[in-house]
Amino acid sequence: MKVDSLNIYITILPEQRLTTRTFSRINIHMLKKQTDNREDSTTKRSKGWKGFLRKTARIAAATMMICVISPFLIYFIIKKSTADSIYHSARDIPAKRVAIVFGAQVNNNSEPSAVLRDRVLTAVSLYNNGKVEKIIMSGDNRFEHYDEPSVMVSYAVEQGVPESALQPDYAGRRTYDTCLRAKEIFSLDEAILITQDFHLPRAIFTCNSLGVQSLGLSADLSTYPAQRNLQMRDVFASTLAVIDIYLRKPYVVPGEEIKL
C-alpha cells in the first residue's frame, strides 16, 4: 500500500488482504490532510485581513498627513506668489485710482478695533500721499446694530479725509465678498488693498483670481493681541479661499452697479 500526498492509491498484492488497521491508517491520513487544508485556508484568510488592515491604515495615515500639510503648503504658495505685490510704505507703492480697506471688528458699534483702526489710518496715509482718489470701506453690516463700513467712514472723516472720497460697501462680509463685489458692483479692474500682513497674501490672491489686479499695502502699525492666532487662522482661511474660488463659488449679496 502507498499513500500519495494528493491522492490515495491502494495496491493489493495477491497474497495481501485489506485489514481494519489498513483502513484506519488511510482514514487518519485523510483527516490529517483535511485539517491541514483548513488550517492553511484559515492562515491565508488571517494574513489577507492583516494585509488589508495594514494597507487601510497606511492610506488613512497618508490622507491625514495630506490634510494636515496641505493648508500650510497652500498658504506658502499664496504667500510666495504675492510677496512682490506687498508694500509697507504709502510713499513707495504705485498710485491707483481706488483703494479697498477690508473690514474688521468694531466695538460697541461705534469704535474701530485696533486692527480696523490701523487699516483706516493706513488708507488715510495713502490718500494724503496722493496715491488714490477713492477709498472703498468694505465691511460687515448684516445685523442692524453692527455696521463696520459706517464706523470706518466716520473714523476716516475724523482724520481729515473728505467724505466724497469714501465709498462704503455694506456687504463685504468676507474677503471673497469684498473682492467679488469690487469687480461686479464697483467695476474695478485694479486696486490697492489695505489690511495687515497676515491677511494681505490671501486678499491679493482672492482679488487677483476674481479679476481685480491688486497691490497690497500693509497696515501693521501696532502689535495686536493674539497675533499668532490671527496668523494661524489665515493659514486655514487660505485653503478655504482656494475652495471658494475654484469649487464652491459661494453666494455674495448682489446689488446695482455703483460708479466711483
Q: Where are the domains of the chain?
A: 84-248
Cα–Cα distance measured from residue 93 to residue 95, given in angstroms and rounded to the nearest whole number: 6
Q: pTM above the 0.85 mark?
A: no
Average the pLDDT over 74-95 and give the result.
Answer: 95
pLDDT band at residue 3 using 50, 70 and 90 as cut-offs: very low
Burial of 205 (0-12, 13-18, 19+ CB in 10 A): buried
Does 169 have pLDDT greater than 60? yes
- Report the relative pairing of strands 111-112 and 8-9 from DSSP bridges: unpaired
Does 68 have pLDDT greater than 80? no
Per-residue cell: 226: 493674539
The owner of cell 471673497 is 176
Does 45 have pLDDT greater than 90? no
Lowest mean pLDDT among 20-29, 91-100, 130-139: 20-29
pLDDT in tens, 213-238: 999 999 999 988 877 888 888 999 99
Which stretches of 38-161 are assigned E, i.e. beta strand?
86-87, 98-102, 106-107, 111-112, 134-138
- For residues 225 and 247, the model is more confident at 247
Cα–Cα distance measured from residue 61 to residue 69, given in angstroms and rounded to the nearest whole number: 12
The owner of cell 476674481 is 210
Q: Could you tell me if 3 and 26 are in contact, meaning their C-beta atoms sit under 8 angstroms apart?
A: yes
Q: What's the pLDDT at 35? A: 57
Give alpha helix (H) positions in 83-185. Answer: 114-128, 148-158, 175-184
Type of residue found at 204 = I
Note the Cα 222 to chain centre separation in Å.
27
Q: What's the pLDDT at 143? A: 87
- Residue 108 region by backbone torsions, left for phi larger than 0, else alpha for psi between -120 and 50, else beta: left
- CATH domain 84-248 topology: Rossmann fold (3.40.50)
8-state DSSP, 95: P
- Residue 226 region by backbone torsions, left for phi larger than 0, else alpha for psi between -120 and 50, else beta: left
The owner of cell 496715491 is 131
Q: Could you tell me if 103 and 149 are in contact, meaning their C-beta atoms sit under 8 angstroms apart?
A: yes
pLDDT in tens, 171-205: 999 999 999 999 999 999 999 999 999 999 999 99
Per-residue cell: 125: 496715509
